[in-house]
Amino acid sequence: MFFLLILAFALLASLPSPALAARDPELACAAKRGRCIAFGHADSLTFDAALRLRSETIRPVRFGIGGSNDSLVLYRGLASADLRLHTGFEAVLELGAHAETGRSGGPGAVDQGALDAHQAWLGWHRDDWSLRLGRQEAPFGSSRIVSLRDGPNIRLAFDGARMTWSGGANRLDLIALRPVRNRPGAFDDVGERKLALWGAYATLAPQAAGPARFDVYWLGYERRDARFAIGAGDEYRQSLGLRFFGQFDGWDWNWEALVQRGRFDGAPVGRQRIRAWTVATDSGFILAERAWRPRLGLKADIASGDADPGDGRLQTFNGLFPKASYFSEASLLAPANLIDLQPTLSLRPRPDLEVTAGWDWVWKQRRADAVYTTPTPLRVLPGSIGSSRRVGNQIKLETRLRLGGGAELRLDLVHFNAGPAVREAGGGDVDYIASAFGWSW
């Protein structure tokens, strides 16, 4: 896959430069964020920056199983430069510095890092085609499978190649990537050799479907030293997925289904065939004529679990690189061996203020399997293998306030009522509070 993408880059570079619609340098900065400098024949150099200060308190960590109460503060700073030439060449460099204070036991794996290149890639654009080579963020769809990982301090970036075709609302991406492994020193982050992601992701907008859109994707995934309830070993998965989403007449929907096949070479169980699947839905209706524009929503998800550890099949779903805050900002649970139902209510008292309340009820999909928690993609909650099916329920309240000038305030409150599956493992209820100030330029 890497060889094919590099060959495609060479072919694109050999094509003649496309004709420009306009030679006015100022047009190069139209609708750009940040500070843009136009020069030459529609060339531009754009500078962007973002800061975030986030505090979290969780009582206790991991439901109290091997963890205690914790409070911490996270600091994030990003600054980038984006050079675009009329010849189709593009170069992006984004530097990031991250720090953490207060966490019991010291910083986590994605909490802290000295100045480093968060993104650094070269690109080439020809008509409807483009190619990126280097370190880059690569979110797809609703971030259920490949996300930015924006909740933790250090966002997710990959080393590798991405080739894109765009035609109107239709798009096709071909990728060959490895996630970046954060290290605490300056300019020492490296590609993770134990993880790999490759495949194709397409977004389709057929006219016959009206406002509906479709994502169709195939993703290959390799993870060494993977751990599940049945044991540890090397994991090789192929994921084939379909996403159906859109908005119409007050309704919005985001439905996704995928199946996974592959193998797991683990100990002590030996080789297992992977047979996993998931269905996830998020639907809502906005009462646009009512005060505060209420949105009534319902999330419903099923992610398969392993029914029998001795049948030669691993049925536990792996969310690959999912958004950790999919269920709530507390990020307590991973989307594996799980059934959940979450009604939500969102209100907009003012155009710059949004408040969302939700109540999420959670069960294990298979009792014989474990409860899985974050960090992503998943981690076994000790003592939960074979426990009861009812995991518990959580109540959340999320507030977003845009202050203008690129600034935003956030407040997130979560209370998790532990069910029998967690209590039988030795865990209990959890309270979580997070506040954040963000600014972008």
Return the pLDDT at 289: 93
Tokens of 374: 């974050």
The predicted structure's pLDDT at residue 375: 87
Q: For 2, phi and psi rounded to 5 degrees? A: -60, -45
Long-range CB contacts (< 8 A, 24+ apart) of 285-289? 285/250, 285/251, 285/252, 286/250, 286/252, 287/250, 288/250
Could you tell me the two tokens for 413? Answer: 């409150």
Do the Cβ atoms of 203 and 213 come closer than 8 Å? yes
- The dihedral through the CA atoms of 127, 129, 132, 137 has a sign that is positive
Owning domain of residue 129 = 2-440
Q: What is the CATH number of the domain that holds 335?
A: 2.40.160.100
Q: Tell me, what's the pLDDT at 25?
A: 55
Q: How far apart are CA 379 and CA 304, in angstroms?
A: 15
pLDDT at 1: 46
Q: List phi, psi (to 5°) of 22.
A: -155, 150
Q: How many domains does the chain have?
A: 1
Mean pLDDT by 10 residues, the chain (441 residues): 43 43 58 78 92 98 92 98 95 97 92 96 96 97 93 96 95 98 93 96 93 97 95 96 97 98 93 97 97 98 96 96 92 96 98 98 98 92 97 98 95 98 98 97 87
Q: What is the pLDDT of residue 369?
A: 97
Q: With CA atoms as reference, report the closest residue to 377 among 239, 202, 207, 267.
A: 239
